[in-house]
Amino acid sequence: MDGEGVARFVPESLPRAEGDPRGLPAGVILDAATRAGQVLAELDRQLTALARIFEVEIVEARQLGPHLVEVVYRHPSYDGLLGLTRDVSEKEVGVPPDDPHHALAVHENSVEEMTTMLRIELEEPLGSARTTTDASGIRWWGDPAAS
């Protein structure tokens, strides 16, 4: 894929008001040169721009390498902390460029769309998702953490 017609991430500053409940917690380090940093920056932008209340409280967000993010959060339906690990690496599109669904497949792989799906995952109750509780009591789910 040559990338023509595909939106590219442009890093922007992420000012936060002290005590603002929206967005990522102050102090989150974002490396805009990596896809994980781009997804976290976009998550911050999306949360800050929401017109409705985001009921999930993000306690911590971090990148583990260039393609893995972790988000520790409180969900109103659960006691204690939950943690989501997500691989945000760019996936093979798998749809030929002449296929009518190619543009949709490319969009689903974009930083913006991947971040939207991450935000939706954070908001949804876990249902039957398997969790693993770590030594500090955080119940983790999602992609396996990097070794």
Could you report the per-residue pLDDT of 40-70, keeping only the tens digit for each? Answer: 999 998 888 876 677 888 999 999 889 999 9
86 phi and psi, to 5 degrees? -140, 130
Please tell me whether the overall predicted TM-score, pTM, comes out greater than 0.85 for this model. no
Question: How far apart (Å, rounded) are the C-alpha atoms in residues 12 and 111?
Answer: 14
Could you report the per-residue pLDDT of 99-139, keeping only the tens digit for each? Answer: 777 677 766 778 988 898 899 899 888 777 788 999 999 99
Q: Which residues contact 106 (CB under 8 A, 6 or more apart)?
A: 1, 6, 93
Tell me the longest C-alpha to C-alpha distance in the chain.
50
Q: Which residues contact 143 (CB under 8 A, 6 or more apart)?
A: 68, 85, 86, 87
What is the residue type of 84?
L
pLDDT value at 31 more than 90: no
Q: For the beta carbon of residue 146, count every other beta carbon within 10 angstroms.
A: 11
